Chains A and B, each alone.
Chain A
Amino acid sequence: MSGNLLEIRDLHKRYGATEVLKGVDCTMRQGDVISIIGSSGSGKTTMLRCINMLEDFQGGTIRIDGEEIGYETAGGVRRRKKETEIARQRAMTGMAFQQFNLFPHLSAARNIMLGLVKVKRMGRDEARAVAEKWLERVGLRDRADRFPGQLSGGQQQRVAIARAIAMNPKLMLFDEVTSALDPELVSEVLQVIKDLARDGMSMLLVTHEMRFAYEVSSRVIFMNQGRIGEEGDPREMFHKPQTERLAEFLKTSTFN
């Protein structure tokens, strides 16, 4: 064991004939906050979705705490793990989505409780207490019994983040969590993520918020055409990009 929280080796992903990920390597330690930037179609979201097997992948390995995710190789044959095993592995990571994806038929608290009760086998009272604790943390304790349709976009996203975090994942994945929000609601969500980073949560973020990536990340990965184009310290990367591609990308993105 290398002691890495996340270890991606030579990750390949194809949709039919199109290769979206052409060999991605990435390692991450406990407490790292890594932002993945890059233009659309560069494979950043796909990479994130492979880590919790929302996408199958055809080559390479992903390990979390040394445990191989999604596939096993026995006798030279690579096989997808059993669905129940994959479900268990998915609970090691938490994910927040661009479209929030809250369950509209459940209140904010019940959204959070669902995984606690079904996956963590908690009693309802205990689950409710955990849900309320996390709603408190994202500043929505008083909205516990509201339904998603009664909340603003920013509030919904904060509940969605609380829902993922409450499962106590080893690693949080954020997939463009502010892209679907009105500009004035973005900062409340980013603040929640900053608080989590300060508390030492390990996070992998796909983001278009360059200023935020710059401020919050311990490392930045620039994805370009299915490969890692450049990676490193955010200050160095944003101020002294080493590749033409990254310089080009930074010029066209809003860094304010």
Chain B
Amino acid sequence: MELLAFFDQLWLARLPILKGVGVTVSISLLAICAGSVLGLGVGLALTYGVRPVRWLVRAYTDFIRGTPVLVLVLASYYVLSGVGLDLGPFQAGVLALAVFCSSHVGEIVRGALQSIPKGQSEAAKAIGLTFSQTFTSVLAPQALRLALPAWVNTAAEMVKASTLLSIIGVAELLLRTQELISRTFLSLEFYFFAGFLYFVINYGIERFGKYVERKTSTPS
């Protein structure tokens, strides 16, 4: 009987839930994409930057990684407006997550590049490749494979971290769910359902990662 009531409510609330999923996916996708592009730059600076640049970027990543994401989200929303950068909750939240993502991706990129044996770039140099040619043809493809598992992990973390945006009033999946629960009092059922949806999103990311891994693996 109670299950029927839940399904009844679920059907009634299908649009807000779908919208919530849409917002969660948008936040995550934007943050992961922007964070990865920024993180690639961070990783390159950490690996190949001249000393002052390296120090600066190192300070950036250490600071960001040492700060709770929630603090970043709140700071991005409340503090940035104080300095004249007035972002809406959605924009501020995506910015905070992208910055957080970039520091993690930066570390992943650095680790991947540094774990490629030195002989690889020496062999590339020896046949006369310039640094940029060596990077694009020899180092980047190998680093991509090495970085992929950790990158998938970070992407899944970003989806989970997107729930923190509910605090600043972004109507993503968690906030929609909470609104629903305050109306229907079916807390167990709707939290469980929300959890299931998050799992589906992250499972999709994981499958995608496995797919890319398989596509790019080299036979041995």
Q: Are B123 and A90 in contact (CB under 8 A)?
A: no
Q: Are A105 and B128 in contact (CB under 8 A)?
A: no
Contact of B218 among A53, A83, A104, A163 (CB under 8 A): A104
What are the residues of chain B within 8 A of A103 when measuring CB–CB?
A: 120, 123-124, 137-138, 142
Stretch of A91-99, A183-191, A205-213, A231-239 at the chain-chain interface: A91-99
Q: How far is the CA of A91 from the CA of B142 in the complex (A)?
A: 23
Q: Are B127 and A163 in contact (CB under 8 A)?
A: yes
Q: Are A101 and B128 in contact (CB under 8 A)?
A: no
Whether A87 contacts B142 in the complex (CB less than 8 A), given A101-B122, A147-B218, A149-B218, comes out as: no
Q: Is the interface of B mostly helix, strand, loop or mixed?
A: helix
Q: How far is the CA of A95 from the CA of B126 in the complex (A)?
A: 6
What are the residues of chain A within 8 A of B133 when measuring CB–CB?
A: 118-119
What are the residues of chain B within 8 A of A90 when measuring CB–CB?
A: 125-128
Q: Are B127 and A114 in contact (CB under 8 A)?
A: yes
Whether A101 contacts B219 in the complex (CB less than 8 A), given A95-B126, A114-B127, comes out as: no
Q: Are B219 and A88 in contact (CB under 8 A)?
A: no
Most-contacted residue by chain A among B127, B130, B131, B138 (CB, 10 A) = B127
Q: Which residues of B, 119-160, contact A by the 8 Å Cβ criterion?
A: 119-120, 122-131, 133, 137-138, 141-142, 145
Q: Is A115 an interface residue (CB 8 A)?
A: yes
Q: Are B142 and A105 in contact (CB under 8 A)?
A: yes
Contact of A52 among B126, B138, B145 (CB under 8 A): B126
Q: Which residues of A, 172-215, contact B by the 8 Å Cβ criterion?
A: none
Contact of A115 among B119, B120, B129, B220 (CB under 8 A): B129
Quote the shortest CB–CB distance from A87 to chain B (angstroms): 5
Q: Which residues of A, 114-171, contact B by the 8 Å Cβ criterion?
A: 114-115, 118-119, 146-150, 160, 163-164, 167
Closest to A151 in B: B220
Q: Are B127 and A119 in contact (CB under 8 A)?
A: yes
Q: How far is the CA of A122 from the CA of B219 in the complex (A)?
A: 27
Q: How far is the CA of A145 from the CA of B148 in the complex (A)?
A: 25
What are the residues of chain B within 8 A of A118 when measuring CB–CB?
A: 129, 133, 137
Q: How far is the CA of A119 from the CA of B126 in the complex (A)?
A: 11
Whether A164 contacts B126 in the complex (CB less than 8 A), given A103-B138, A104-B142, A105-B142, comes out as: yes
Closest to B131 in A: A83
Q: Is A220 an interface residue (CB 8 A)?
A: no
Whether A102 contacts B123 in the complex (CB less than 8 A), given A147-B219, A149-B218, A149-B219, comes out as: yes
Q: Are A87 and B129 in contact (CB under 8 A)?
A: yes
Q: How far is the CA of A101 from the CA of B119 in the complex (A)?
A: 6
Q: Given known contacts A91-B128, A94-B127, A105-B141, what 17 new A-B pairs fall within 8 Å (CB)?
A: A52-B125, A54-B125, A83-B131, A87-B129, A90-B126, A93-B126, A102-B123, A103-B138, A104-B220, A114-B137, A115-B127, A118-B137, A147-B218, A149-B219, A150-B219, A164-B126, A167-B128
Interface residues of A (CB under 8 A from B): 52-54, 83-84, 87-88, 90-91, 93-95, 97, 99, 101-105, 114-115, 118-119, 146-150, 160, 163-164, 167
Q: Enumerate 23 A-B pairs (CB-CB under 8 Å) in ascending A order.
A: A54-B125, A87-B128, A87-B130, A90-B127, A94-B126, A95-B123, A97-B123, A101-B120, A103-B120, A105-B141, A105-B145, A114-B129, A114-B138, A115-B127, A119-B128, A119-B133, A146-B219, A147-B219, A148-B220, A149-B218, A149-B219, A163-B123, A164-B127
